[in-house]
Structure formats: structure tokens, C-alpha cells
């Protein structure tokens, strides 16, 4: 299948913003009638990080003109391609994002309300991770990293004098 055929399928099966975003991505990667390898294309669109990477310059349009988000586009493409959204790519993306929120970074926030909100969001993401089907079925792969994240957030809470539940 070539790029235009794939785009026709997306246009006929997905909403307008998803089509526009997929076209935006594919225009960066392929010439007009270039052939697409179906497995590589599916793997590319399964990788959550690619949406942030290739739609970064298009974010304002997605949010303002279409009142949508990268998450919505990802979910719709996963549905279109029969990919489970709860997969290694999304889990890895969330874990890495949390790993960047080091105790030093959170403790360095100057406003205590922002610190508390950051901690709350962090803990919510940890719960989401632990309830993820992919995490549950691949526990040995992610468990040490998630445990380290729990230790880090508990360290922050202890440093700030926030009572543990």
C-alpha cells in the first residue's frame, strides 16, 4: 500500500483531526506515492513517543483549531490499527516522564501548592501504571523502576512533612 492509499483509509475511518495529523506525520517521512511497509507503519503508529516527536510543531493547531490532543489522536489511531493502547510504548513514556521528576526537582518548586499538586499527579500516574494491563503482565520488566519512583515520591513527602497514607 502506498502513502495515499493509507491516508484514504485513515480519512474514511477516523475523525478529521486524526487524518490531518497522520497526513502531517507521513508528509515528513514519505514522498507522495511512496510505498509503506504495513508492519513498520503499524509499529511506528503504536509508538506513543512518535506522536509527540512528529506533531510537536503542529500542537497549537491540534489544540486550538481542532480542540483535540495528542492523546486523542493516539487512541484513535490505535483503534484504527487494532493496537491495544495499554502497551509497552505508553507505559515506557509515562515511566520515563515520571523519572524526570526527581526529588530535587519537586523539592525545588517554590510554591507549596504546586509541590502538593505535583505530588498528587505523580501518585495518580503511579496508580495508573500499577493498574495497567501491560505493567501487570510485564511486572518484572518495570517493577524495579516503579519501586524507585515510589521511594522517590515518599522521600519528597517525608522531606515536606506530608503524612503518608
Residue 115: domain span: 88-160
Alpha-carbon distance of 23 to 16, in angstroms, equals 10
Interval 33-61: pLDDT, tens:
899 999 999 999 999 999 999 999 999 99
Domain-located, residue 93: yes
Question: Do 70 and 23 sit in the same domain of this protein?
Answer: yes
Give pLDDT, residue 19. 97
Pair 108, 139 in one domain = yes
Domains in the chain, number: 2
d(CA 137, CA 127): 15
Classify residue 165: in a domain, yes or no: no
Same domain, yes or no: 111 and 64? no
Whether this prediction's pTM lies above 0.85 is answered by yes
- Tell me if 156 is assigned to some domain: yes
Last residue of a domain, one of 32, 48, 80: 80
Same domain, 68 and 106: no
The predicted model gives 3-27 an average pLDDT of 96
Strand partners, 33: none
Work out the pLDDT band at 91, boundaries 50, 70, 90.
Answer: very high
Res 165 pLDDT > 80? no
CA distance 123 to 146: 11
Q: What is the spatial distance between Cα 47 and Cα 90, in angstroms, rounded to a whole number?
A: 7
Q: What percent of the chain has pLDDT over 70?
A: 99
- How many H-runs (helices) and E-runs (strands) does the chain carry? 11, 0
55 and 113 together in one domain: no
Is 72 within a domain? Answer: yes
Residues 50 and 119 in one domain: no
pLDDT of residue 33: 86
The phi and psi torsions of 143 (rounded to 5 degrees) equal -55, -50
| Domain identity same for 76 and 31 | yes
Instruction: Please check whether residues 52 and 19 belong to one and the same domain.
Output: yes
Q: 68 and 120, same structural domain?
A: no
Query: What is the average per-residue pLDDT within 72-93?
Result: 97
Q: Which three cell numbers stand for residue 43?
A: 509499529
pLDDT tens for each residue of 112-161:
999 999 999 999 999 999 999 999 999 999 999 999 999 999 999 999 98
Of all residues in the chain, the percent with pLDDT exceeding 90 is 93
Let me know whether 68 and 99 are in one domain.
Answer: no
Of residues 99, 74, 63, the one with CA closest to residue 22: 74
- 68 & 124 share domain: no
Do 11 and 68 fall within a single domain? yes
Amino acid at each position: 500500500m502506498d502513502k495515499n492509499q493509507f491516508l484514504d483509509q485513515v480519512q474514511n475511518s477516523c475523525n478529521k483531526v486524526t487524518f490531518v495529523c497522520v497526513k502531517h506525520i507521513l508528509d515528513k517521512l514519505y514522498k507522495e506515492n511512496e510505498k509503506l511497509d504495513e508492519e513498520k507503519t503499524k509499529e511506528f503508529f503504536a509508538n506513543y513517543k512518535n506522536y509527540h516527536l512528529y506533531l510537536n510543531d503542529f500542537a497549537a493547531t491540534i489544540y486550538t483549531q481542532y480542540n483535540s490532543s495528542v492523546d486523542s489522536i493516539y487512541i484513535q489511531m490505535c483503534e484504527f490499527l487494532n493496537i491495544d493502547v495499554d502497551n509497552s510504548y505508553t507505559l515506557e513514556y509515562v515511566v520515563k516522564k515520571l523519572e524526570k521528576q526527581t526529588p530535587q526537582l519537586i523539592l525545588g518548586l517554590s510554591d507549596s501548592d504546586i509541590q502538593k499538586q505535583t505530588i498528587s499527579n505523580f501518585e495518580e500516574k503511579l496508580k495508573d501504571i500499577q493498574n495497567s494491563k501491560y505493567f501487570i503482565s510485564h511486572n518484572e520488566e518495570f517493577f524495579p523502576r516503579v519501586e524507585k519512583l515510589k521511594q522517590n515520591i515518599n522521600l519528597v513527602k517525608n522531606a515536606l512533612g506530608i503524612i503518608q497514607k
